[in-house]
Structure 1
Amino acid sequence: MATKLSEVIVGTFPQLRYEPTPKRIRASIGGNAVVDTLHAWLVWEPRRITPVYAVPEEEVLAELRPAGAPTADVPEVAVRMSAGAPPSFDPRTGFGRHTTPGEPLDVVTGTTAVPGAAFRPDDPDLAGYVVLDFAAFEWREDDEEILAHPRDPFHRVDIRASSQAVTVSLDGVTLASTNSAQLLYETLLPVRYYFPAEDVRLDFMEESAKRTACAYKGEASYWTYPGSEGGKDIAWSYKRPLRDAAQIHGLVSFFNERLDVTVDGVLQPRPVTPWSRPQDRRG
């Protein structure tokens, strides 16, 4: 019987997972080094979509102490990667929400103490390793800064030019239409249609204060279409994309979970993703 690989990947989310990385991994805070290692692993706690770094405890350059206070309750941000998939946690669920047994640790370096920024998993396969909170430190892989979270080696982004006629509309109002889209294909996510700015009705929209960071694409800025209740932060653009996403520099994309996309005249189904909202689903 054939195996659909995406179902295998999503099916592992409830498990504790790890994968060694050959990259040089460095973390620091306030100019103080926390770790510099060639022996890091990527670790996904159960239900986590994105990994964090685990490093050999003996290579940590800071002091690790048992957590001085109980970890505050960290809210879960549960999302579904697809219809029928079990709920998982995206990066908005803070590091302190651990889903595997282990010991929280404080990280102390110089005059800086970061409560609960390390975690020693109680698992024989991870013996000798501690997991570090990505948000607590500045990170580099080799000599390059890493944004948002570590990159998943089984996750990739491909971008392809397309001459198909692509149109997006919301509440019957056309917001963009082009025959020059760049199609962005990202593992486990729906295709994203990126429009040249001149093919987008930016005069209908207002620039938003919202900003998000993607480990694969860079920092995104957003637009809101004020003519609709569902138009808040509906579109985004990468003004300074990372090298791997250079083809979408200055282009504009939309949440196809929340509006109508037609490709060569065919209305596309609205996908179910972590960015779906119940009120935006058709049918």
Structure 2
Amino acid sequence: MAVSVSQTLMQGLGELRFQPTAKRIRALRGRAVVADSTRAALVWEPRRVVPVYAVPLTDVLVPMTASSAAGEATEVPVRIGDGETVLDPRTGFGFHSCPGRAMSIETGEGVLDGVVFRPDDPELADLVLLDFAAFDWLEEDEPIRGHPRDPFHRVDVRRSSRRVRLELDGLLIAESDRPSMLFETMLPSVRFYLPREDVRVPLTPTETRTWCAYKGEASYFTVERAGERGVDVAWSYERPLPDCPQIAGQVAFFQERLDVTVDGAPWVRPRTPWSEPA
């Protein structure tokens, strides 16, 4: 009997998962090289949707000691679609969903507590997981921001002639028959990136900035005419990463909070961590 690939992947979400990488991985703290490895792996703790880097113990170049930070962090479960809750980066590194030991490292800045985790699993016996947020990272000689890239995660952008209409409480926000449609692995809905000329209301920039490992840095906008003063409603990548040049300067909206029709047919609002305004 045929099986859905996405369902197969989701069935493993509760497991401790890993994938070796052939890339040279380096973790830096200021000018100090904390780890340097050509034997690294990506590791997903149970229920985590984003991996962290793991390296052999012998590739950590600074002293490690037992940590007193174990158990201090709490989980922040989120829901994507209709499935079980998952853990995205909002659940910090300090919360661990598998058995193991939290550790600290010593650098020229002092002790960084709890930024290393050694899982008990025998398959990962020689590896330690490193807190992505605690270091600067290089894959080969290129910097990586946001989180490690998942080799099983794709972002595809396709030009389209579908007519997309977005409304908020009856107010026309945008309408376009030339969207760029962005398809991202395991997310429950396509994203529509529209030319700014097809946005029908003024967009007011907010101070919010986020970083996507696949698309780059996003800046955000509010729509005051719709009563959304100060609330992030839309975003744009002015200088996207080389993976997604087609969306440069275009505008996407939180479809979770808008009424969307495509070629005259209404779309069901997807359920994601962004369904409610932050």
Per the TM superposition, whether the score is higher than 0.5 is: yes
Q: In the alignment, which residue of structure 1 is the partner of 2:181?
A: 183
Tell me how far apart the structure 2 counterparts of residues 53 and 202 of structure 1 sit (CA, whole Å): 43
Residue 118 (structure 1) aligned with residue 116 (structure 2)? yes
Residue 162 (structure 1) aligned with residue 165 (structure 2)? no
Identical aligned residues as a percent: 51
Shift of 1:114: 1.1
Q: Deviations over 1:144-193 (max 9, x none)?
A: 11111001111000000001111111111111111111000000111000
TM superposition score normalised by structure 2: 0.95
Tell me how far apart the structure 1 counterparts of residues 176 and 104 of structure 2 sit (CA, whole Å): 52
Q: In the alignment, which residue of structure 2 is the partner of 1:23?
A: 23
Tell me how far apart the structure 1 counterparts of residues 10 and 227 of structure 2 sit (CA, whole Å): 32
Task: Give runs of aligned pairs for residues 92-103 of structure 1, distance below 5 A.
Answer: 92-103=90-101
Q: In the alignment, which residue of structure 2 is the partner of 1:2?
A: 2
Q: Any conservation in 1 of the 2:77–2:87 contact (CA below 8 Å)?
A: yes
What is the identity, as a one-letter code, of the residue corresponding to 2:254? F
Q: Any conservation in 2 of the 1:230–1:258 contact (CA below 8 Å)?
A: no
Q: Any conservation in 2 of the 1:159–1:184 contact (CA below 8 Å)?
A: yes
Q: In the alignment, which residue of structure 2 is the partner of 1:248?
A: 247
Shift of 1:229: 5.5
Q: In the alignment, which residue of structure 2 is the partner of 1:133?
A: 131
| Partner SS state of residue 243, structure 1 | coil
Q: Any conservation in 1 of the 2:219–2:237 contact (CA below 8 Å)?
A: yes
Tell me how far apart the structure 2 counterparts of residues 117 and 206 of structure 1 sit (CA, whole Å): 38
Q: In the alignment, which residue of structure 2 is the partner of 1:274?
A: 273
Shift of 1:113: 2.1
Tell me how far apart the structure 1 counterparts of residues 246 and 254 of structure 2 sit (CA, whole Å): 19
Tell me how far apart the structure 1 counterparts of residues 245 and 201 of structure 2 sit (CA, whole Å): 22
| Segment drifting more, 113-122 vs 221-230 | 221-230
Structure 2: gaps spanning 5 or more residues: none
Q: In the alignment, which residue of structure 2 is the partner of 1:201?
A: 200
Residue 88 (structure 1) aligned with residue 86 (structure 2)? yes
Tell me how far apart the structure 1 counterparts of residues 242 and 225 of structure 2 sit (CA, whole Å): 35
| Segment drifting more, 140-149 vs 129-138 | 140-149
* Alignment length (residue pairs): 275
Cα distance change of structure 1 residues 228 and 71 upon mapping to structure 2, 3 Å threshold = farther
1:220 pairs with one of 214, 218, 221: 218
Residue 259 (structure 1) aligned with residue 258 (structure 2)? yes
Shift of 1:226: 2.5
What is the identity, as a one-letter code, of the residue corresponding to 2:247? I
Q: Deviations over 1:24-68 (max 9, x none)?
A: 11110011001111100000001101000000001111111111x
